[in-house]
């Protein structure tokens, strides 16, 4: 007979119904999933108590990718922290850049010119499409639909090619600056983007043809991980996880930023809050992102040649050719790079990321050394909700739940 073991349980079914003399059900299996695991979407460790195939308790253990980013912001300074923000939710780097820049702009009362905002919307929506493609590819491959991984990664490569041409790097581009973007978008990039957007909706149709009506996909996702709106709000969920339950809340519509109020798009909302509804919400979000990108490109024609970066000299580097010739510009460059300071106070600018509400809570004491930069990561709330959805379900549903909650450990752990 086994020794009596005590187990620590997170909110879940207490073991009172276990009959310890029953040879089949008398013992809990503690299964450690992770931190290295193909289906945990990064370095997440889950301690799962299993009664046969049924999950009785689940405890996530995060922090395996904690790199000390919030401390790094305090040590490096506002400007030098931009590359770190890319690497938070690393499947949508430019979106994180924009969120950080927006909170600094709120703190410093800096206005972004219209062309800068339009370019930001274009690249934010492209990043959203890229992030949802990762969700689709990795969740599908975790559930066995291996082909989807290759299909979505082919499309993601096309976005990479676009961003490579525009920013010089495929991923972790760091192309946003306080007050705008680093450089203007040129005609060839617009042409490539139009080409991509023209063929992408038919690709979404292909993905849907493979998955949406698929009996296996439906059975594995329908009814799995259902949430009520009250639960979702109590657990601080946002984004597609919240909208899948039927709550119509999107930061782009309800707390608009960057000019989103003047764009024409819809926000998909689910009904049941299960994995299948969240999947449908994300597919539709990709279609709406295509609409937004097309509108952004059309507006670029109107603002052609205008400013894409604020002219506020306190935060913007002088033109490079002047830096090489003139002493004042050289000193100015030095001061902005090493000593950029923001006014005293706190600010928080929420942004709708592909995972939910992303925001940087920044606090400054008026000097150039940041006082605090807290990263409000939606992924952390998504990981927190794993026990809520998984308890009582089968082990194989765990993959569907982890995939549909959609988190990236870079931002969960920071």
Partner 1 sequence: MGVLERIAAVRGTEGYTAVDARDGTPCVRIEASALPAFALMLRDECGFETNTFVTAIDRTEKRPVFDICYQFLSLQHADRVRVLIEVDAADPRVPTIKDLWIGASYSERECFDMFGVAFEGHDPLERLLMPEGYEHHPLRKEFPHHGIEPDRLYREWERTRSAGGKA
Partner 2 sequence: MGSLKPVGPAAQDAGFLATKADALVNWGRKNSLWPMPLGLSCCGIELMAMIGPKFDISRFGAEAARFSPRQCDLLIVAGTLTWKMAQAARTIYDQMPDPKWVIAMGVCSSSGGMYDSYAVVQGIDMLMPVDVYVPGCPPRPDAVIDAILKLQKKIERESPIRDLTQGRNEGDESGTGVFDMPPNDAVATSRIGTFLDADSEELA
Interface positions with partner 1 (CB under 8 A): 62-63, 66, 68, 70-72, 74-75, 103, 106-107, 109, 230, 233-238, 247, 249, 254-255, 343, 345-350, 357, 359, 361, 363, 365, 371-372, 374, 376, 380-381, 383-384, 413-414
Cα separation, 71 vs 258, in Å, equals: 28
Give the DSSP letter string of 143-185.
TT-HHHHHHHHHHHHHHHHHHHHHHS-SS----EETTEESS--
| Contact criterion met (CB below 8 Å) for 143 and 399 | yes
Contact segment (CB under 8 A) with partner 2 among 145-153, 206-214, 278-286, 325-333 equals: 145-153
Q: Judging by beta carbons within 10 Å of its beta carbon (0-12, 13-18, 19+), is residue 208 exposed, middle or buried?
A: middle
3-state secondary structure of 384: helix
Binding-site partner at residue 160 among partner 1, partner 2, none, CB < 5 to 8 Å by type: partner 2
Phi, psi of 305 (to 5 degrees): 85, -10
Binding-site partner at residue 149 among partner 2, partner 1, none, CB < 5 to 8 Å by type: partner 2
Torsion 40-145-158-250 (CA) sign: negative
* Token code pair at residue 332: 């100015």
Q: Does 134 participate in binding partner 2 (rule CB under 8 A)? A: yes
Binding-site partner at residue 270 among partner 2, partner 1, none, CB < 5 to 8 Å by type: none
Pairing of strands 54-61, 29-33: unpaired
* Token code pair at residue 330: 């050289």
> 145-152 contacts: CB < 8 A, separation 24 or more?
145/210, 145/211, 145/214, 145/216, 145/217, 147/210, 148/207, 148/210, 148/211, 151/203, 151/206, 151/207, 151/210, 152/207
Cα separation, 323 vs 331, in Å, equals: 8
Phi, psi of 2 (to 5 degrees): -80, 155
* Token code pair at residue 213: 């009506």
Binding-site member from 47, 77, 160, 212 for partner 2 (CB under 8 A):
160
Q: Which helix (H) or strand (E) holds 51?
A: strand 45-51
Torsion of CA 278, 284, 285, 287, to 10 degrees: 160
Contact segment (CB under 8 A) with partner 2 among 31-39, 200-208, 226-234, 308-316 equals: 31-39
Q: Does 42 participate in binding partner 2 (rule CB under 8 A)? A: yes
Residue placing its CB nearer to partner 2 in the complex, 68 or 343: 68
Contact segment (CB under 8 A) with partner 2 among 80-88, 111-119, 306-314, 326-334 equals: 80-88
Binding-site partner at residue 282 among partner 2, partner 1, none, CB < 5 to 8 Å by type: none
Cα separation, 223 vs 202, in Å, equals: 28
Residue placing its CB nearer to partner 1 in the complex, 117 or 241: 241
Binding-site partner at residue 134 among partner 1, partner 2, none, CB < 5 to 8 Å by type: partner 2
Binding-site partner at residue 348 among partner 2, partner 1, none, CB < 5 to 8 Å by type: partner 1
Residue placing its CB nearer to partner 2 in the complex, 160 or 361: 160
**Cα–chain-centroid distance for residue 235?**
18
Size of the site for partner 2 (CB under 8 A): 33
Contact segment (CB under 8 A) with partner 2 among 86-94, 111-119, 276-284, 299-307 equals: 86-94
Residue placing its CB nearer to partner 1 in the complex, 140 or 358: 358
Helix, strand, coil % in the chain, rounded to nearest 5:
50, 10, 40
Whole-number minimum distance, CB 175 to partner 1, in Å?
24
Binding-site member from 83, 201, 319, 392 for partner 2 (CB under 8 A):
83
Whole-number minimum distance, CB 1 to partner 2, in Å?
31
Whole-number minimum distance, CB 106 to partner 1, in Å?
4
Cα separation, 52 vs 26, in Å, equals: 10
Binding-site partner at residue 410 among partner 1, partner 2, none, CB < 5 to 8 Å by type: partner 2
Binding-site member from 9, 64, 235, 361 for partner 2 (CB under 8 A):
64
Contact segment (CB under 8 A) with partner 2 among 110-118, 150-158, 243-251, 293-301 equals: 150-158
Give me the residues that bind partner 2 (CB under 8 A), please: 35-38, 42-43, 63-68, 71-72, 83-84, 86-87, 90-91, 134, 149-150, 153-154, 156-157, 160, 170-172, 409-410
């Amino acid at each position: 007979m086994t020794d009596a073991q005590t187990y620590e349980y997170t909110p879940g079914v207490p073991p009172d119904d276990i009959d310890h003399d029953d040879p089949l059900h008398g013992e809990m299996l503690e299964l450690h999933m992770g931190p290295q695991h193909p289906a945990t979407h990064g370095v997440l460790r889950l301690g799962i108590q299993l009664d046969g195939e049924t999950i009785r308790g689940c405890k996530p253990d995060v922090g395996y990718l904690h790199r000390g980013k919030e401390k790094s912001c305090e040590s490096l300074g506002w400007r030098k922290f931009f590359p770190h923000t890319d690497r938070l939710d690393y499947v949508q780097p430019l979106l994180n850049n924009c969120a950080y820049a927006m909170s600094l702009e709120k703190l410093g009362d800096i206005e972004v010119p219209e062309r800068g905002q339009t370019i930001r919307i274009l690249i934010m929506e492209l990043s959203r499409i890229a992030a949802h493609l990762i969700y689709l590819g990795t969740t599908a491959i975790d559930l066995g639909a291996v082909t989807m991984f290759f299909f979505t990664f082919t499309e993601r490569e096309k976005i990479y090619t676009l961003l490579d041409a525009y920013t010089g790097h495929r991923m972790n581009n760091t192309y946003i600056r306080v007050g705008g973007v680093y450089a203007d978008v040129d005609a060839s990039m617009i042409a490539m983007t139009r080409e991509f957007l023209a063929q992408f909706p038919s690709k979404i149709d292909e993905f849907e043809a493979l998955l949406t009506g698929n009996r296996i996909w439906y059975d594995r996702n329908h009814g799995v991980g259902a949430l009520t709106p009250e639960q979702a709000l109590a657990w601080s969920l946002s984004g597609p996880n919240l909208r899948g339950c039927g709550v119509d809340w999107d930061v782009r519509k309800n707390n608009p930023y960057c000019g989103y109020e003047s764009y024409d798009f819809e926000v998909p909302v689910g009904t049941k809050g299960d994995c299948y509804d969240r999947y449908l919400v994300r597919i539709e979000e990709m279609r709406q992102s295509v609409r937004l990108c097309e509108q952004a490109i059309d507006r670029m024609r109107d603002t052609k040649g205008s400013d894409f970066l604020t002219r506020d000299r306190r935060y913007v580097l002088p033109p490079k050719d002047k830096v090489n010739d003139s002493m004042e510009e050289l000193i100015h460059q030095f001061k902005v790079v090493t000593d950029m300071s923001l006014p005293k106070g706190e600010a928080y600018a929420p942004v709708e990321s592909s995972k939910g509400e992303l925001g940087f809570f920044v606090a400054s004491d008026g000097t150039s050394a940041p006082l605090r930069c807290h990263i409000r990561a939606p992924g952390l709330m998504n990981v927190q909700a794993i026990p809520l959805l998984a308890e009582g379900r089968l082990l194989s549903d765990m993959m569907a739940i982890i995939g549909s909650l959609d988190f990236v450990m870079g931002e969960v752990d920071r």
